[in-house]
Amino acid sequence: EAQVTQNPRYLITVTGKKLTVTCSQNMNHEYMSWYRQDPGLGLRQIYYSMNVEVTDKGDVPEGYKVSRKEKRNFPLILESPSPNQTSLYFCASSLRVMNTEAFFGQGTRLTVV
Amino acid sequence: GENVEQHPSTLSVQEGDSAVIKCTYSDSASNYFPWYKQELGKRPQLIIDIRSNVGEKKDQRIAVTLNKTAKHFSLHITETQPEDSAVYFCAPPNPDSNYQLIWGAGTKLIIKP
């Protein structure tokens, strides 16, 4: 089954404790991205990747890192999480960035206390 | 995003009536116009998209119309049903980047029984 898989689905952590949210897709998509979704603010892009070893900042990259060592995986790293990073996070992939459907993961609800 | 305006932000319609949501974009070169649906607690999913070489596309009760001159595209849902209750997002390409979409702020559609 074609899908985008994120883990974990829910996470509560403390300020400053490094964490990684994993994202994997099995559709051989070139383009992957991370979004955060906050009430009233819609979807805001954090980072995106056009292909292996090619990443770039989205609209709200501060406090986040990503890597794309393999085509299927695109982890999101929070080196030192802060309470303002409490949010719902979505990973998405698409065959190409333009003119193609974006497939979203199930979402990760992160709470930083 | 600043180059995308989505209206209305909330729409309440009686079950069985029609609903229309409008998305205005800024880049005249855009050629792909998708609409996503996000049900409560779930991930966004593509429901319909249109390319710039056509003016309208239908899929059962859902249609999208494109007005390139006025730079807007609209989502039309006819004979609304309770399962149409969700948040709907438009996501045209970012005119300032070849690698990003711009997400509208979302429209919360409420179907009244």
* Smallest CA–CA distance from A49 into chain B, residue: B99
**pLDDT one-digit tens code per residue, A68-104:** 999 999 999 999 999 999 999 999 999 987 778 999 9
**pLDDT one-digit tens code per residue, B88-101:** 999 988 877 777 88
Rounded to whole angstroms, the Cα distance separating A79 from B113 reads 47
Q: Is any Cβ of chain B less than 8 angstroms from the Cβ of A63?
A: no
Distance from CA of A41 to the nearest CA of B (A): 6
Q: Is any Cβ of chain B less than 8 angstroms from the Cβ of A98?
A: yes
pLDDT at A56: 95
Pairs of CB atoms within 8 A across A/B: 49
**pLDDT one-digit tens code per residue, A4-56:** 999 999 999 999 999 999 999 999 999 999 999 998 888 999 999 999 999 99
- Cα-to-chain-centroid distance, residue B8: 11
**pLDDT one-digit tens code per residue, B48-86:** 999 888 899 999 999 999 998 888 999 999 999 999 999
Rounded to whole angstroms, the Cα distance separating B17 from B81 reads 9
Are the beta carbons of B84 and B75 closer than 8 angstroms? no
Q: A-chain residues within 8 Å CB-CB of B100?
A: 45, 48, 58, 97
**pLDDT one-digit tens code per residue, B13-53:** 999 999 999 999 987 677 889 999 999 999 999 999 998 88
pLDDT at B2: 54
